[in-house]
């Protein structure tokens, strides 16, 4: 069984025969094929009608536009819209960390059921932000023990650039039986743990926000500007070859995170504004070969609202 070369523009695995039917056959086939958290446009175009693949449109915007409107205007054929706020996060509130607390297992189980995704299904997420939102779904599936999460490299822009069609119709799949999911709390840290790791010579804390937010020159949404003292600036956009484009190669990403100290550190933590685009840095680290990096769930929205915690300004 051949494995997929999932870099955009390099195509993907060719079928040796008819699409397999039956959940077990499909699960074996896809698990052997999928060796990267990314899939290319060519791979997805070939496998849109495969029973073991579902597609999730997770476009979302911090201010102004709505992902649901972008989806309604045109999406990858057969894709289902996934709402970041309602389905990939719990409601924020007292006692919950940040603007996008992690969802409960039941929320993700219900989402997978709605998508028609079983344990062996490949769930391909895409957005129009270079994977900055789609990576949240990929990470959550790992967190809840479902190994099928993938991100479309280059997102909907790459799909359009390849001359592939969009549709406006909604085509729901038959729901799948809900899966019993169990979170992996060892993949997450809170503000107390981050405060310790940020001072440790054996750890690296990465901030995935844009440089102007890290340095405190701009803060459009959270309680105060700045960054966790000791954190290093690692804007998620620099994981890409161009804004909103495809991921850099594993070798380039390894060099990037090596320069930040993240390949040699004993512990690596990523955060952003609310725990969403930090998953993009975690995805890039996984592509580069480091799969044990941790997420600061509440991220800056959690840290900044605690006045007892210091905030650093300026470059790292």
Q: Which residues pair with 126 in a beta bridge?
A: 57
Dig out the tokens for 70 from the structure: 């972008």
Reply yes or no on whether the pLDDT at 8 is more than 50. Answer: no
What is the spatial order of strands in the sheet that 203-207 belongs to? 188-189, 294-296, 267-271, 203-207, 232-233
Phi then psi for residue 297, to 5 deg, are -55, -55
CA dihedral 150, 154, 156, 161 (to 10 degrees): -140
pLDDT tens for 158-191 read: 999 999 999 999 999 999 999 999 999 999 999 9
Quickly tell me which residue has 């579902």 as its tokens.
54
Phi then psi for residue 156, to 5 deg, are -70, -25
Reply yes or no on whether the pLDDT at 1 is more than 70. Answer: no
Q: What pLDDT is recorded for position 83?
A: 98
Q: What pLDDT is recorded for position 11?
A: 34
User: With bands split at pLDDT 50, 70 and 90, how would you rate the model's confidence at 34?
Assistant: low
Q: What is the mean pLDDT of the chain?
A: 90
- Running DSSP on this structure, what letter comes out for residue 208? -
User: With bands split at pLDDT 50, 70 and 90, how would you rate the model's confidence at 35?
Assistant: confident
pLDDT tens for 214-234 read: 999 999 999 999 999 999 999
Reply yes or no on whether the pLDDT at 47 is more than 90. Answer: yes
Is 279 one of the annotated active-site residues of the chain?
Answer: no
Residues 76 and 55: beta-carbon distance below 8 Å = yes
Distance CA 57, CA 240 (A): 20
Dig out the tokens for 145 from the structure: 């023990």
pLDDT tens for 100-141 read: 999 999 999 999 999 999 999 999 999 999 999 999 999 999
- Running DSSP on this structure, what letter comes out for residue 238? G
Which of 272, 279, 282, 286 is flagged as catalytic? 272
The pTM is what? 0.89
Supply the DSSP string of 44-103, one letter for each residue: HHHHTT-TTEEEEE----SSS--HHHHHHH-BSTT-EE--HHHHSSPPP-TTS-SSSPPP
């Amino acid at each position: 069984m051949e494995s997929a070369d999932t870099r955009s523009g390099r195509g993907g695995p060719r079928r040796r025969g008819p699409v397999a039917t039956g959940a077990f056959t499909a699960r074996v086939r896809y698990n052997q094929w999928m060796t990267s958290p990314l899939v290319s446009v060519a791979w997805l175009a070939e496998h849109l009608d495969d029973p073991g693949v579902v597609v999730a449109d997770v476009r979302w915007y911090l201010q102004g536009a709505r992902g649901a409107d972008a989806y309604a205007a045109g999406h990858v054929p057969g894709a289902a819209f996934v709402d970041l706020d309602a389905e990939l996060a719990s409601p924020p509130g007292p006692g919950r960390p940040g603007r996008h607390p992690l969802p409960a297992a039941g929320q993700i189980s219900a989402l997978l059921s709605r998508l028609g995704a079983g344990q062996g299904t490949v769930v391909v997420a895409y957005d129009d932000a270079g994977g900055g939102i789609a990576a949240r779904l990929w990470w959550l599936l790992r967190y809840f023990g479902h190994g099928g999460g993938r991100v479309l490299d280059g997102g909907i822009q790459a799909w359009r650039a390849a001359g592939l069609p969009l549709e406006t119709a909604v085509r729901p799949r038959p729901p799948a039986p809900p899966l019993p999911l169990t979170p992996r709390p060892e993949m997450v840290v809170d503000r107390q743990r981050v405060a310790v790791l940020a001072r440790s010579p054996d750890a690296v804390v990465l901030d995935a926000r844009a440089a102007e937010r890290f340095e405190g020159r701009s803060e459009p949404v959270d309680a105060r500007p700045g960054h966790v003292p000791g954190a290093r600036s690692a804007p998620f956009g620099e994981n890409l070859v161009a804004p909103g484009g495809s991921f850099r190669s594993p070798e380039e990403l390894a060099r990037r995170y090596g320069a930040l100290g993240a390949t040699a550190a004993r512990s690596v933590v990523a955060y952003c504004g609310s725990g969403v685009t930090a998953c993009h840095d975690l995805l890039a680290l996984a592509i580069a070969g480091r799969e044990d990096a941790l997420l600061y769930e509440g991220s800056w929205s959690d840290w900044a609202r605690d006045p007892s915690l210091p905030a650093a300004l300026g470059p790292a």
